[in-house]
Amino acid sequence: MADLRSVLSWYRRMVLVRRFEEETERAFRRGKIGGYLHVYSGQEAVAAGFISAMREDDICFTSYRDHAFALLRGAPPGAVMAELYGKATGLARGKGGSMHLFDVGRGFYGGYGIVGGHIPLALGAAYALRYQGSDRVCLCFLGDGAMNTGAFHESLNMAGLWGQTGQCPLVLIVENNGYAMGTSVARSSAVTDLAARFTAYAIPCERVDGMDFLAVRLAAERAIAETRTSGRPTAVEAITYRFAGHGAADVVQPYRSKEEVDQARRRDPIPTLEGHLHAAGLLDDAAMAAIREEAEQAVLAAVRYAEESPAPPPESLYADVYADTYGGEA
Amino acid sequence: MAIVSYREAIRSTLIEEMDRDLTIVLLGEEIGLYQGTFRVTADLLARYGPGRVIDTPTSETGFVGAAIGMAMLGLRPVVEMMTWNFSLVALDQIVNNAAKIRYFSGGQVDIPLVIRGPNGAGVQLSAQHSQSLEAIYAHIPGLHVVTPATPAEAKGLLRTAIRGNDPVIFLENAALYGSKGEVPEGEFVVPFGAADVARSGSDVTIVAYSRMLAAALEAAEYLAGEGVEAEVINLRTLRPLDRGTLVASVKRTHRAVVVQEQWRPFGTAAEIAATIAEGAFDALDAPVERVTGADVPMPYARNLELLALPNAEDIVRAVARTLYREIKTPSERSSGGQSDG
């Protein structure tokens, strides 16, 4: 494992992600952000733990709860916020919004809005990486709800098959936050031991505390190293929790109690990592305050950038539907 | 020019393109060891190995989605859909991913993907295996929809599809695999969006594509004997659609009959009729006629199945309606036992 000093930089990024999400909720309430908004607060250690263990040329796919993935792969916060604001300077030029952040140049192959629908894409992308003769790996993040889709089972079966010949450098990460929207794992899965679903397809699965960055990071290093070497898929189930509602409009949450949420907040991954760093003598109150202020300024700058950016020009409506144009009309 | 079958035209194009471009991989059910359900991929596993000719489980969502992911990383997958009926299982991947990723990523990735296989009715395959699904796909922005009618078109359009950078719905037809025709040698290409005037005429425009082209040409040949010169337009691609050629033809002939194998409501013919109404309204001397499949799930019994499919006689009758005149169809002539000539 990288030394703890490098972990400090990931702590800094987690703080930024948390502060960024707070601001997106505020902007949503002010009507600045439209559509659906799914914030990542509570789950930061999962994305940060794995992305910190990725190589720069590795790639990842995720679902619609995707802001953190773009930010942690290094996308400028202003371009992420501008996308949420539907501006021309957004990551996807205002065409995708919150659910479809993309930064292919940084190996982030997108957020997807149909639950489970991105898993086959990651499978094929992993195959392509090995076909091209590289040792790059593909990470696929998914929620516990995605494990009940046909796409999940078909993809895992094929991943297990392709892994037999070392052609599937795919790491699957289940972010088990306990709920598919408002339906708990117990109410949606006949078998609540989710790891069993991976082993059914000959894919080893490790369970990890998804609220602890260091634990996730170690599991990520093991899974990524194994998959990079063998070309076989691996899986990690990260037990985590979503502090906010499913979406920003999900204010009333009859599917869970306030006590449950409060209890989960006591396992908040950010103070947990602060504890580790404090104990190692790498973080004191002054440094923490400085990091928070840095995040504050970065987020405010991102908001300013988004506010001041122009809307996409009307002529961009028909741009980027096709790569090729022929005679005739679509 | 060589005379080759529609099947061989597709197969040889796959070979020619795979020989020149290592990024092309094939995926599908029974395409390798089994040699392909319709033998389009015969011998390709032996030729290219299991890394490039990938036999998949019965998992349309899985392998279509995987092909999209491969395309996002720069491969050029060609997926065989055993028949297009099964594509409905993968509809989410095709419509929600293949067609949209380029757009909602702001143009960050291309999806150079071809999905090919037989579309339309066979012989007594009944309701689940006889569908013509082109309108479903032609409705979706982000997809190209291609409907070759001849071996030459199959070759030229497939080459364009494989070398292009967008998802292509490549609709073959099982009844055409054995049909033969002249195919130019060399790197012959047919562009998308360019309809072919398969027969010139001045009295009525018959619009067709895929397997229905043969019925349209048969009707036109018969009509010529009745003193009616029909122009037959073979669309070749539905998306992009060559609206210019359609409208220009109807402006000359003043009448149009559109032929499709699929169900009538919301189908290709409705789109073409609207295109003609928009572009040649003043030129029309009769309402646009639609000749279509019956609006029922395909029945099994052979007599009912034949009733459900459009044929040359239906086209002759429709042409007669646009001309406001009586024209005996071939079967009316033979059953009537009378002859004018």
Kindly provide the ipTM of the predicted complex, given to two decimals.
Answer: 0.97
Residue B257 is encoded by which pair of tokens?
């009959």
Residue A168 lies in a domain: yes
The domain spans of chain B are: 2-183, 196-334
- Helices A44-51 and A269-279 cross at an angle (nearest 10°) of 60
Count other C-beta atoms under 10 Å from residue A224's C-beta.
21
Residue A322 lies in a domain: no
Range of the domain at A309: 4-316
Q: Which among A105, A121, A157 is the nearest to B72, CB-wise? A: A121
Chain B CB contacts of A126 under 8 Å are: 69
Is residue B13 exposed (0-12), middle (13-18) or buried (19+ Cβ within 10 Å)? buried
- Range B248-273 burial, b when 16+ CB lie within 10 A, else e: bbbeebbbbbbbbbbbeeebbbbbbb
Which residues, numbered 126 to 165 in chain B, qualify as contacts with chain A under a Cβ-Cβ cut-off of 8 Å? 141-142, 144, 164-165
The whole-angstrom separation of Cα B202 and Cα A235 is: 67
DSSP state of B93: I
> Which parts of chain B have pLDDT scores under 70?
336-341
Which residues, numbered 75 to 134 in chain A, qualify as contacts with chain B under a Cβ-Cβ cut-off of 8 Å? 90-96, 100, 102-105, 109-110, 112-114, 117-129, 131-132
Spatial CA neighbour of B79 closest among B161, B173, B156, B136: B161
Residue A43 lies in a domain: yes
Residue B249 is encoded by which pair of tokens?
């033809």
**For A194-237, how does the pLDDT look when each residue is reduced to its tens digit (9 = 90+)?**
999 999 999 999 999 999 999 999 999 999 999 999 999 999 99
- The domain total for chain A is 1
Q: What is the CATH number of domain B2-183?
A: 3.40.50.970
Residue A185 lies in a domain: yes
Q: At B15, is the secondary structure helix, strand, or coil?
A: helix
The whole-angstrom separation of Cα A9 and Cα A167 is: 33
Q: What is the pLDDT of residue B339?
A: 47
Q: What is the pLDDT of residue A251?
A: 81
CA A147 to chain CA mean position, Å: 16
Determine phi and psi for A180, rounding to 5 degrees: -95, 100
Q: What is the pLDDT of residue A1?
A: 54
**Residue B139 designated active-site:** no
Count other C-beta atoms under 10 Å from residue B232's C-beta.
25
- Interface check for B71 against chain A (CB to CB < 8 A): the answer is yes
Chain A CB contacts of B68 under 8 Å are: 120-121, 124
Listing DSSP states for B180-221 in one string gives EEEE-SSS----TT--EEEE--SSEEEEE-TTHHHHHHHHHH
Residue A330 lies in a domain: no
- CATH topology of B2-183 equal to that of B196-334? yes
Determine phi and psi for B4, rounding to 5 degrees: -135, 165
Pairing of strands B144-146, B237-239: antiparallel
Q: Do B59 and A110 touch (CB under 8 A)?
A: no
Domain holding A210: CATH number? 3.40.50.970
Is residue A181 exposed (0-12), middle (13-18) or buried (19+ Cβ within 10 Å)? middle
The whole-angstrom separation of Cα B195 and Cα B189 is: 14
Q: Do A167 and B194 touch (CB under 8 A)?
A: no
The whole-angstrom separation of Cα B250 and Cα B262 is: 23
**For A20-46, how does the pLDDT look when each residue is reduced to its tens digit (9 = 90+)?**
999 999 999 999 999 999 999 999 999
Residue B105 is encoded by which pair of tokens?
């990523």
Residue A140 lies in a domain: yes
Determine phi and psi for B83, rounding to 5 degrees: -145, 155
Q: How many CB pairs under 8 A join A and B?
A: 178
**Residue B60 designated active-site:** yes
Q: Which among A118, A122, A330 is the nearest to B141, CB-wise? A: A330
Q: Please report which helix (H) or strand (E) contains residue A263, including its range.
A: helix A258-265
Residue A323 lies in a domain: no
CATH fold of B196-334 reads Rossmann fold (3.40.50)
Provide the residue-wise pLDDT of chain A in tens; the chain has 330 residues: 557 778 999 999 999 999 999 999 999 999 999 999 999 999 999 999 999 999 999 999 999 999 999 999 999 999 999 999 999 999 999 999 999 999 999 999 999 999 999 999 999 999 999 999 999 999 999 999 999 999 999 999 999 999 999 999 999 999 999 999 999 999 999 999 999 999 999 999 999 999 999 999 999 999 999 999 999 999 999 999 999 999 988 888 999 999 999 999 999 999 999 999 999 999 999 999 999 999 999 999 999 999 999 999 999 999 999 999 887 666
The whole-angstrom separation of Cα A87 and Cα A83 is: 6
Count of alpha carbons within 13 Å of A330, Cβ hemisphere only? 17
Residue A166 lies in a domain: yes
**Angle at the Cα of A234 from the Cα atoms of A228 and A238, rounded to 5 degrees:** 120
Nearest-neighbour CA in chain A from B259: distance (Å)? 20
